[in-house]
């Protein structure tokens, strides 16, 4: 319980130190390339649109409350 004594002395792995520094400074090293622009567009526009289309097409199609064995999920 005495202060000033380090019991867990371990040498830091240089690869982990480099990875940690790179991840904390990612905004410094980021560059817009055609690939990063394409990936960003996919996550910002295409994925939400596809999820919206699926949600709109299946809205009210299934009623999952109070179903019993043998009941149909699709409402007609």
3-state secondary structure of 74: strand
Tell me whether residue 33 is in a domain: yes
74 DSSP β-pair partners:
62
Number of structural domains (the chain) is 1
pLDDT in tens, 5-53: 666 677 888 999 999 999 999 999 899 999 999 999 999 999 999 999 9
Tell me whether residue 55 is in a domain: yes
Q: What is the pLDDT of residue 7?
A: 66
Compute CA 56 distance to the chain's CA centroid, rounded to the nearest angstrom: 23
Give residue 40's domain range: 11-76
Tell me whether residue 57 is in a domain: yes
Q: Is the pLDDT of residue 66 over 80?
A: no
Tell me whether residue 51 is in a domain: yes
62 DSSP β-pair partners:
74
Cα 55 to Cα 57: distance, rounded to the nearest angstrom:
6
Q: What is the pLDDT of residue 37?
A: 96
Nearest 10 degrees: Cα torsion 16, 19, 20, 22 = 160
């Amino acid at each position: 319980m005495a202060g000033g004594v380090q019991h867990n002395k371990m040498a830091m792995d240089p690869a982990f130190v480099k990875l940690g520094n790179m991840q904390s400074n990612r905004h410094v090293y980021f560059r817009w390339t055609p690939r990063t622009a394409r990936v960003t567009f996919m996550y910002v526009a295409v994925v939400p649109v596809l999820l919206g289309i699926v949600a709109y097409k299946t809205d009210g199609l299934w009623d999952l409350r109070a179903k019993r064995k043998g009941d149909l999920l699709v409402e007609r």
